[in-house]
Structure 1
């Protein structure tokens, strides 16, 4: 069971996991722990699956997927019949009125829809723990001089499951640098995998860039690929002014993760997110909603 906190209802809920049986088979049994995760993490398998999701024939799965996971299509620009493939549906665009971007300059917003786990204070070595495994920024972004600037800072981990809106946005106005690419594997980012595979985030393919934010100092954006994620697609223009809430990019098919890294003393998180994160429980958030405030 994958439990998360719904901040709207103030209740714990169980996530309806896409591919739950396969994930459990791969990551939660003795054979899977040694063999199946390595096979599932291979680029060739992800590339093949991504190509299948681009085929016109893959459209037949859209309606079933929407029904099974109760996806509200009124939130999106296009109707089911308008999508050219399953991948086209997967990175569907929201309609302009379906998310409200909080434009208060002192309030920090979520960059996407997803489940948030927050580490409000990384240690002096710029490291943090997720599901029992220790991560360091050196391993995550592979830049020691940059990672030192974020010691004792805040780490926000947004997990996007396959049923979520899969585009990610800027949390503030500013200038964003080009993305740096780090090759890696394609392990699942589902909590089942995170508990069983050592350092998924630093093993997987990922990209990072720096948003030179107008109100929250320099923020490192890290996008992490996962099993069956065909691509991480950046849609913004580097070194050109962006606005709060504008699109940064999207993931093609599969679960994925967006990690934001902030320097020490920049924000304090909302109480419910702090409380649940201390308990090791993710909080469901929506693009544009307030999750913290500038100090």
Structure 2
């Protein structure tokens, strides 16, 4: 099947009504019959799940499952930034004057990604990670730092796939898909956790709508089926691990790098070891 044909089919199947139908089925009791084959097909590690497979009442409940305690230890470095998800790093790097460069061959306008938020300038020269969650992955999103919620924005959009095909052949899907953005203030500055919806995802939900403060590793939100998180770090506050690169798999709680204080605002720490 040609890329042109696949693109046309994707356009047809990226409508919200199809997503809603898939969502209704995944929430139905009938969908529980698919859980064993779904888990086997994707090689999901069932020993990590909080419950036994037979205890999940719907496919959605299984997909948004929690894990047993201590399955994802959080790196203890006080100034560390941790991965908020289990994911594949599809792109990472410095933000170049408001542009996220070369994400699967495409450049992204930060302003478009953040829906022209006034907060955009905070990240115009910052750092970014694009973290792709496949159906195999654990689909809850956790706090990458300890801090308080500054703002939250839900942006309605399309539901294009965020897999390799969608990212390469569909135009700037991360900026066109549905997004739920959480801005978090922390000791060293600010981060934005951009949760991007995908094909057949009926919603992105906060685990607790009333929560305004989190510790690193706390449960923030979850996806219903596979998607992507774009993690943005404020200008001049962050240094990534030297051996981290696009193509690496990470688990929630693993270290992505460390913060230093913005030299324009506060004295930099003298201890720079990771």
TM-score with structure 1 setting the length:
0.84
Q: Is 2:93 the counterpart of 1:120? A: yes
Q: Is 2:242 the counterpart of 1:271? A: yes
Find 1:258's aligned residue among 229, 250, 254: 229
Q: What's the counterpart of residue 140 of structure 1?
A: 113
CA contact (8 A) 1:102 1:109 kept: yes
Q: What's the counterpart of residue 267 of structure 2?
A: none
1:179-198 superposed Cα distances (whole Å, 9 cap, x missing partner) = 21111100000012111111
Q: What's the counterpart of residue 220 of structure 1?
A: 192
CA contact (8 A) 2:94 2:100 kept: no
1:99-155 superposed Cα distances (whole Å, 9 cap, x missing partner) = 101132122211010111343211123443311111111111122532122122101
Paired with 2:213 and 2:118, the residues of 1 have a C-alpha distance of 25
Paired with 1:133 and 1:198, the residues of 2 have a C-alpha distance of 8
Q: What's the counterpart of residue 183 of structure 2?
A: 210
CA contact (8 A) 2:50 2:65 kept: yes
Q: What's the counterpart of residue 293 of structure 1?
A: 258
Q: Is 2:248 the counterpart of 1:283? A: yes
SS where residue 226 of structure 1 aligns?
coil
SS where residue 252 of structure 2 aligns?
coil
Q: What's the counterpart of residue 5 of structure 2?
A: 31
Q: What's the counterpart of residue 218 of structure 2?
A: 246
Q: Which runs of 5+ in 1 are unaligned?
A: 1-24
Give the 5 Å matches for 1:71-220. Answer: 71-143=44-116, 145-214=118-187, 216-220=188-192
Q: What's the counterpart of residue 6 of structure 1?
A: none
CA contact (8 A) 1:109 1:288 kept: yes
CA contact (8 A) 1:126 1:148 kept: no
Matched pairs, number: 260
TM-fit CA distance, 1:178 = 4.2
CA contact (8 A) 1:178 1:239 kept: no
1:43-93 superposed Cα distances (whole Å, 9 cap, x missing partner) = 000100111111111111111122222221111110110000101100000
CA contact (8 A) 1:126 1:153 kept: no
TM-score with structure 2 setting the length:
0.90
C-alpha distance 205-43 of structure 1, shift in aligned 2 (>3 A): same
Paired with 2:171 and 2:63, the residues of 1 have a C-alpha distance of 28
When the two chains are superposed, the root-mean-square deviation of aligned CA atoms in Å is 1.6
